[in-house]
Amino acid sequence: MRYGYFNDEQKEYVITRPDTPLPWINYLGCEAYFGILSNTAGGYSFYKDARLRRLTRYRYNQAPLDETGRYIYLRDDDTQTAEYWSPTWQPVRRKLNEYECRHGLGYTTIRSSLAGIQAQLLYFIPLGENLEIWQLSLSNLRTQPANLSVFSMVEFCLWDAVDDATNFQRNYSIGEVEVVDEVIYHKSEYRERRDHFAFLACSEKLAGFDTDREAFLGPYRGADAPLGVERGYLSNSIAHGWQPVGVQQFKLHLEPGEQHETIFLLGYHENHQEEKFDPPGTQQINKRRVQPIIQKYLKTEEVQTAFQQLKAYWQGLLEKLKVQTPDIHTDRMVNTWNVYQLMATFNFSRSASYFESGTGRGMGFRDSNQDLLGFMHLMPERARQRILDLTATQLSSGGAYHQYQPLTKRGNNEVGSGFNDDPLWLVLAVAAYIAETGEWSILDEVVPYDNQPGSEESLYGHLKRSMGYTLSRLGPHNLPLIGRADWNDCLNLNCFSEAPGQSFQTTTNKDGKVAESVFIAGLFIRAAQEMIRMAATRQDPDGELYLHASQQMAEAVWQSGWDGSWFLRAYDNFGEPVGSKYCQEGQIYIEPQGMCIMAGLGIDNGRARQALDAVAEKLATPHGIMLHQPAYTRYYLNLGEISSYPPGYKENGSVFCHTNPWIMIAEAMLGNGAAAHDYYLRINPSKREEISEVHRCEPYVYAQTIAGREAATYGEAKNSWLTGTAAWNYLAITQWILGIRPEFEGLRIDPCVPPEWDGFRVERTFRGRQLHIMVHNPSHISHGVSRVELDGREIEGNLVRFTAEGDEHQVDVWMGS
């Protein structure tokens, strides 16, 4: 069953009923000011950091679902019954005659009609501005004139979202606002150390306003039935403590057929410390700098221009890589939605979604490095900066803070370090950056450790410490020690937690000198391949060292990391295998199969094939490939959080989508295009759209997890949007299945596709050149390239080096043996 449809032309997902299984959201904003917006106007806004600079409140775990948001109420002032409704359905939830929500790239429109009044709301954030626009257009479809009251409502957050939700003894007393020239300013804590405030403005002459929540809602009422709307007038309340809100009312007379446009602005502004107050010496906000911005965007023409600019911005990004294949789900995801999700993961890592509260995790070190893998070609300059920011949180030991706060860019001490895979991901991100851009000089950028001045070293030096970190932490089988966890945050082999509520992430009760990870071994070999190549171009003799170390690591894997038919997952604190046929539960895990094969292990001795056959037989389901099998049916002290989840959920044997592309890539490396693409489709959201009632999350983005076979809700997705699945699937499909793969020396063209495909087309920007790539598959094979022509001339091999002059090139590729 579907709740909407893709409009591929407009690059929108069109939701046709408001009561989707879960709120289906969109992100607004590209740089600093961001918003999350659901299909019924729920969600919240923040500046840079969803925890530390939250503009509006959101209540998770709320019934009814999805409060609060960016609300509009329409009230029929003509009728004696004083009917009112929300054109976005929520919060009033009156049944609408017509409803349609279009989530587009960086904007959302919600259109509806009721009682002969048609409403359309467009929400977006202009490029380069710290404000959001809600453009409301109302039309009178009646044969009679209409007299309406229109109300807006937001509930302000007292900036620090954690404090706001917990420290009531303080924050019920600190709320402050100003209302000047009909603009509502939220300025809690501005009187002391903050230099920022929020504002809500409207292009209409107001009939009234409220800034105190209780005054607007009335005692013991909710946003679904505010007293102010019901009775038709506001009380011009000024909030003193309690809950500051922004509510505006204006009156509108519409002749039959008449249409009217209104603009609301919700925004954020910072003043210089020296000019906070105006007049100086008072406690009033200095509005001199913000007023011109407000005035500008209250004009319809400016709004139109800003909206066109936003559309052009996204169009430009999508142009960087476009494909045309025989499969609509591939095209749709690669050309639009997967790219869009890449941007979300780049901006928010795992911090703010409808499953991430914005108050917990900041930017993950492992996460952001992986998110970059798919992002490089979109905005190489921003990717470069992100790499340097991440590097600055590396510790001098070579280890890394597991997370950092985006606002401060400082490592998060609460979570700390000790996830032993973390530093290696940096090597992969940097290598991907160089492959995309050809810009080797990034390796010479000097960056501090832990942001400490005086500790600066070249990025290349940082990468060497990453490698050294693994090499100085080997266990009894010469495999890497796992530390707190590796990629699988929930495989906590040194934790042994018996106290309820204790954090599996930060508690370690064992000395950590025994438990080892085969996954990190694979990751190390993969990283070493990049280091060897980087060392060669820098004439660094340590290249030899990495070659030797990776050979030894491979040796250790074959000695102690191979279980007979697949790669083992780990050794626990007692030196017992995890992910082995000898285990009672959790006999086979997906991660080491993917990572070890991606590192090239077992490709020439048949073991990679064996491992992938085991994956197909034991882990693959129609809903994707499960993390391990059988899932753990009880809690294992020696395994940690992984066994804390009921079977089939999350890390305990769900389809953890992030890992599926590793298997797609492994299959592609073995030349098996049919299997690779089949796995790709199993978790492809567009393909799963037709089972939306089972999948339940948005059909336009990947979710982190789909409940596994042992779960009661098998096939149900959770944790949509912020997941490494976005980057890895993008890599799997573009670089390994379609096979258009940046390498240090040029662009490799190495497709591995379903044999029935006749071919496909790719438009790609690469190092400033525009490439038109046409792949022909006349003999219907999966893998192998027999001929490549660059601008009509045959080249040797399938690595295109682009020595030819010119900004545009035609590349013709024939598959064949």
Residues that bind ligand GLC (CB under 6 A): 350, 364, 366-367, 487-490, 505, 641, 650-651, 704, 723
Question: Angle at Cα 305 formed by Cα 302 and Cα 307, nearest 5°?
Answer: 110
DSSP state of 377: T
3-state DSSP call for residue 756? coil
**211 or 723: CB nearest ligand GLC:** 723
What's the token pair of residue 693? 């009632």
> Shortest approach of ligand GLC to residue 503 CB, angstroms?
9
> Shortest approach of ligand GLC to residue 488 CB, angstroms?
5
**516 or 651: CB nearest ligand GLC:** 651
Sheet holding 577-578, edge to edge: 516-517, 570-571, 577-578
Distance separating alpha carbons of residues 211 and 209, to the nearest angstrom: 7
> Shortest approach of ligand GLC to residue 408 CB, angstroms?
19
3-state DSSP call for residue 442? helix
Residue at token pair 């990717």: 383
CA distances to 455, 549, 734 from 753, in Å? 48, 34, 11
- Residues 82, 94: contact at Cβ < 8 Å? no
438 phi and psi angles, rounded to 5 deg: 70, 10
Distance separating alpha carbons of residues 815 and 367, to the nearest angstrom: 35
Task: Report the helix count and the strand count for the chain, using DSSP H and E.
Answer: 21, 42
Question: Angle at Cα 378 formed by Cα 705 and Cα 677, nearest 5°?
Answer: 45
Distance separating alpha carbons of residues 298 and 44, to the nearest angstrom: 21
Q: Parallel, antiparallel, or unpaired: how do β-strands 146-159 and 577-578 relate?
A: unpaired
Distance separating alpha carbons of residues 422 and 403, to the nearest angstrom: 10
> Shortest approach of ligand GLC to residue 344 CB, angstroms?
14
Distance separating alpha carbons of residues 270 and 290, to the nearest angstrom: 9
Sheet holding 321-324, edge to edge: 321-324, 759-766, 769-776, 808-815, 785-790, 793-795
DSSP state of 228: H
**297 or 487: CB nearest ligand GLC:** 487
Residue at token pair 């502004």: 269
**Cβ neighbours, 10 Å, residue 279:** 7
Q: Rounded to a whole number, what is the distance in angstroms from the first to the last CA of the chain?
A: 43
> Shortest approach of ligand GLC to residue 534 CB, angstroms?
25
**204 or 651: CB nearest ligand GLC:** 651
> Shortest approach of ligand GLC to residue 435 CB, angstroms?
23
Question: Angle at Cα 531 formed by Cα 803 and Cα 418, nearest 5°?
Answer: 140
Distance separating alpha carbons of residues 241 and 77, to the nearest angstrom: 32
**277 or 636: CB nearest ligand GLC:** 636
> Shortest approach of ligand GLC to residue 365 CB, angstroms?
9
What's the token pair of residue 216? 């607007």
> Shortest approach of ligand GLC to residue 361 CB, angstroms?
6
Q: Which of 371, 348, 370 is nearest to 359 (CA)?
A: 348
Q: Which of 566, 187, 160 is nearest to 358 (CA)?
A: 160
**293 or 415: CB nearest ligand GLC:** 415
Out of 371, 489, 563, 750, the active site residue is 489
> Shortest approach of ligand GLC to residue 388 CB, angstroms?
21
**333 or 415: CB nearest ligand GLC:** 415
Residue at token pair 């591929």: 8
Distance separating alpha carbons of residues 801 and 769, to the nearest angstrom: 11
> Shortest approach of ligand GLC to residue 751 CB, angstroms?
29
Distance separating alpha carbons of residues 646 and 61, to the nearest angstrom: 20
Residue nearest to ligand GLC (CB): 489
Length of the chain in terms of residues written? 817
**223 or 490: CB nearest ligand GLC:** 490
**223 or 665: CB nearest ligand GLC:** 665
> Shortest approach of ligand GLC to residue 651 CB, angstroms?
5
Task: Please indicate whether residue 489 is annotated as part of the active site.
Answer: yes
- Known catalytic residues are 489
